Chain A
Amino acid sequence: MLPYNWMMAVAILLPVVAAVLVYIIRQYHARGVIVILAAIALIVNSILFLLHGKDTFSPANAQMWDMVVTVLDYLILLFYIYVGISLKNWLVLIFALTQIIPLAWFEFGMGGRAALANVSPTFVVDHLAIVMCLVISIVGSLICVFAIRYMYDHEHHLHLEKSRASRFLFWMVLFLGAMNGLVFANNLIYLYFFWEVTTLICFQLIAHDLTKEAIDNAARALWMNSIGGTALIIAMVILFAKGAPLSLDGILSGGVASAVLLLPVALLCFTGMIKAAQLPFQSWLLGAMVAPTPVSALLHSSTMVKAGVYLVLRLAPAYAGTRLSIMIALVGAFTFMAASGLAISQTTGKRVLAYSTIANLGLIIACAGINTPLAITAAILLIIFHAVSKGLLFLCAGTIEHIIWSREIEDMEGLAAKAPLVTVIFAIGVLSMFLPPFGMLLGKWMALESASTIPLAAWLFVIASAATIVFWAKWLGRFLQVLPKLGAKIESLSLSYTVPLWLLVLGIFGVGIGVASVYTGLVQNAVADVVTSGQALAVQGWGLTVNGYSAVSSTANFAVGNYPVWPLFIVFAIAVLIPFIFVAIKPGELRPVYLCGEQAGGTDTDEWYSTADVKTKVQLGGYYFQGVLGEAALNPWTYTLSIVLMVIMFAVALLAMGGAL
């Protein structure tokens, strides 16, 4: 086994080295080999972390690393200022200044630097961090592998004269290192540093295509996340001013934070919510859709947004039982509902995926806010399942884009005939997002079963669930609208596409069927890192049982709920997989669809005789309800309500602080 400092180096620094190599070596195959090797190294390393268990780490040359972090911090912020000035984007400039000035004042004026240097340990690798590291290393690496070929086709399609794929892969691989650093960081200045690095990489990746839209959206992502950075710095300043420790384990050490410290905790959660694109900050993530699809896959599944929910989840003990906790649950639940509703009205596939991500992150944050052991378990399981499923869906979206060269849902009609392989994989991804027996539904089920303490959140979940069914089913439905023909030819795709896709499909079934092992081996410990009291979930026979924990059921001794995992997978196999494989049909049994007897020809055409015997194509269109559920109709309401919720969230923290003073 590797020594621990080497494992840390592989997790954080190896991606940096690999990224630089990828940038220098511009040969397609060599570059691909480096990415694949780095991916394998990261995956193995993350498993080593799992085997090693909980530990802490402080680098040997602490002073040198502190210096490196400080210098890079200011370089990044200066770069933001440069971006703001050169793009004439004043918001970027303002929020860069609101970071660099307080930071410099805090570190050198108030003497925060000495306090930060004293923080020990620098990194805390507990089980929650290990879960995140596994998600980042495995799902993130697969996405990077996918990107090798994707960028080749992407640039081929754009007819670029000079390849910029090296630059793209540089930022992609670097992202993994920054995320690993972020989830391990305990010292707040390290957390801030990695936070800023992810923001920077996000900016670079969104702007990659250098169209006006790409640059505008990248700038928006930058200034919105800079607000988060500012909040993080203010939190540090308040913590320092109140004499509290400047580390995550310091904040969490005393259980529920004292009323005075509730405000910095709220600010840190606010930072996380911006990164997790909670309403009203969802527009940066929607804008990020202009980037090449591997970027979206990376941002949505394993990195960036997951950093946001990770921070909120990590801080859960600090606000347990407070009104802040209720407000965080409501912000999340409202986002879950509003984003699910808005997703119905979206006509672009990637925007549906984006809203679905925002919705599910809302659900995870709501679980953190509900703050019972069961809810925290649900949140951590959702992080894992969502990463795998959403990674798969985005990679599918990317592959589809390279087959039909469109992102519009209406253009995906009948893809089951054009691209049966991708359709099957996409269908598995979609079904795994909202239906039993897959993990996402298990998480939603647990969230609902735990939401009794905050009924309003439960009602929002319920409405969101119904909307979720509609937008997924109607999208998948468009794929299936095929002519009555047999023997669709399976499309040939590069291995760089299919290997990550199949591995993620395997992952969906693996973590789904083995959820009991995932829970006992991984999540249980991670939950114990967040909440100490009580075992919410028990593995019983072939299922999971929710133990009574609430006031209602503590009097009687019975289970709250039961989720038979394996029987449900058997049902799924009987219901979907076996018919899919075995339902056979003879060519002679096919008939054209009913078009009032006016179909023009047999099974090979979808035309019919219109007025004056003109052959006309059958045209079908999905329901989108732009008038009722469109962004133009809903956004005034969602923005108002979500801003009100955020304001109340801060008011609650401020009131607690005021009361304590």
Chain B
Amino acid sequence: MNAWIIAIVTVIVAPFIGGFLAGIDRRITARLQGRFGPPILQPFYDFFKLLGKSKIAASRLQLMWIYAYLVLMITALLFLVLRLDILLMMFILGFAGVCFALGGFSSKSPYSHLGANRELMQMLAYEPVLLLLALGVYAQNGSFLISQIYASPTPLISRLWPIFIALLVILTIKLRKSPFDLATSHHAHQELIKGIMTEYSGPYYALIELTEWYEIVLLLGIVSLFVANPLWVGIVIALAAYLLELFVDNVTARMTVGWMVRFVWAVGITLCILNLIWFWVFAAIKGVS
């Protein structure tokens, strides 16, 4: 019964946290650019305004994928708060991304087609790191269950800090921040309009915003796992990581897709694998002695 209450509370509360964080994002970004910026509640105004717009769409198919994107993102978040299998959570997160990309493909729009292809390239870049993160959790805890991360006395970051750095790189892609805001764009309309989101409007666009709020909470939740005991330290680290992403967003320029894949594979995957090799060697040494 307890699990049901946690699940329901998460589903209700998470978008408020996510929307609030998005508002802080816009405010801080504005300050970094020497502007005053919108009110903190601006994302909520945008959301409700979008809900009130009339429905228009470019095909029926694209709408179903957006519901799937939302539902799967919530499911992945529930896996986190109910402390289930982290590897499976990554696969569900992957499914959510696939649905979003398929939604982008579901109309004959050159801009959303381009965005969807880039979304897949982004998945090619970040998916291995997320899965390797799960393997790292197993290497340290001997279990893929998130509940074991909370039960373990040693925080993940003490031995998985290279994977943590890789996760920060991934976070930039997942939060759609520069230099990796390639599939959709907040500022570069000239190049790809709104990329994968170009053909969504009104309430359907609001659903994407809602999903992104859930995603922010989920991603910061994954970051907070690295110091799960005590949890408040993890949350502080997650918020610090979020601020770092905002800073990176504002001081870097957009890069190309090929550069992103090469960079993430060269830095992210290498860091993860070095981390795991270290575990392996460590276990081998312990086994010998």
For B242, the chain A residues whose CB sits under 8 A away are none
A575 touches B105 (CB 8 A): no
Chain A, residue nearest B279 (CB): A455
B63 touches A583 (CB 8 A): yes
A564 to B276, CA, bound (A): 27
Q: Which of A481, A550, A563 contacts B113 (CB 8 A)?
A: A481
A620 touches B108 (CB 8 A): yes
Q: Which of A462, A477, A559, A618 contacts B116 (CB 8 A)?
A: A477
Which of B21-29, B128-136, B164-172, B246-254 sits within the interface? B128-136
For B131, the chain A residues whose CB sits under 8 A away are 448, 462, 465-466
Which of A77-85, A378-386, A588-596 sits within the interface? A588-596
Question: B164 to chain A: closest CB distance in Å?
Answer: 17
Using known A-B contacts A449-B138, A593-B107, determine if residue A473 contacts B59 with beta carbons closer than 8 Å.
Answer: no
A589 touches B56 (CB 8 A): yes
B88 touches A445 (CB 8 A): yes
For B199, the chain A residues whose CB sits under 8 A away are 593-594
A546-562 interface code vs B (CB 8 A; 1 in, 0 out): 10101011001011111
Chain B, residue nearest A596 (CB): B193
B105 touches A436 (CB 8 A): no
B111 within 8 A of A: yes
For A477, the chain B residues whose CB sits under 8 A away are 101-102, 104-106, 116
For A445, the chain B residues whose CB sits under 8 A away are 87-88, 91
Q: Which of B61, B97, B280 contacts A482 (CB 8 A)?
A: B61
For B40, the chain A residues whose CB sits under 8 A away are none
A477 to B118, CA, bound (A): 13
For B241, the chain A residues whose CB sits under 8 A away are none
A466 touches B128 (CB 8 A): yes
Which A residues, 593 to 636, have Cβ-Cβ distances below 8 Å to chain B?
593-595, 606, 618, 620, 622-623
Q: Which of B55, B87, B107 contacts A484 (CB 8 A)?
A: B107
Chain B, residue nearest A578 (CB): B67
For B61, the chain A residues whose CB sits under 8 A away are 416, 480, 482
Q: Which of B57, B107, B124, B273 contacts A467 (CB 8 A)?
A: B124
Secondary structure of the B contact surface, majority rule: helix
A33 within 8 A of B: no
| Total B residues in contact with A, Cβ cutoff 8 Å | 68
B101 touches A459 (CB 8 A): no
B71 within 8 A of A: yes
User: Which of B56, B63, B68 has the most CB atoms of chain A within a 10 A radius of its CB?
Assistant: B68
A561 touches B145 (CB 8 A): yes
For A571, the chain B residues whose CB sits under 8 A away are 71-72, 75
Which B residues, 46 to 63, have Cβ-Cβ distances below 8 Å to chain A?
54-63
B123 touches A469 (CB 8 A): yes
B64 within 8 A of A: yes
For B198, the chain A residues whose CB sits under 8 A away are 593-594
B121 within 8 A of A: yes
B95 within 8 A of A: yes
Chain A, residue nearest B117 (CB): A623
For B128, the chain A residues whose CB sits under 8 A away are 462-463, 465-466
Using known A-B contacts A571-B75, A618-B108, determine if residue A465 contacts B127 with beta carbons closer than 8 Å.
Answer: yes
Chain B, residue nearest A576 (CB): B68
Question: B182 to chain A: closest CB distance in Å?
Answer: 13
The interface of chain B, by Cβ under 8 A from chain A, is 54-65, 67-68, 71-72, 75, 84-85, 87-88, 91-92, 94-95, 97-99, 101-102, 104-113, 116-117, 120-121, 123-124, 127-128, 131-132, 134-135, 138-139, 142-145, 148, 151, 193, 198-199, 269, 273, 276-277, 280
Having A449-B87, A548-B142, A579-B65, one finds 8 other A-B pairs with CB under 8 Å, namely A414-B108, A416-B61, A466-B131, A469-B98, A477-B104, A559-B143, A580-B64, A585-B57
The interface of chain A, by Cβ under 8 A from chain B, is 414, 416, 435-436, 441, 445, 448-449, 452, 455, 458-459, 462-463, 465-467, 469-470, 473-474, 476-478, 480-484, 486, 546, 548, 550, 552-553, 556, 558-564, 568, 571, 574-576, 578-580, 583-585, 589-595, 606, 618, 620, 622-623
> 10 A-B Cβ contacts within 8 A?
A435-B95, A445-B87, A448-B134, A455-B135, A455-B277, A469-B98, A469-B127, A558-B148, A561-B143, A562-B84
Enumerate the 5 nearest inter-chain pairs by beta-carbon distance, A residue then B residue, closest first.
A477-B105, A552-B142, A593-B109, A575-B71, A579-B64
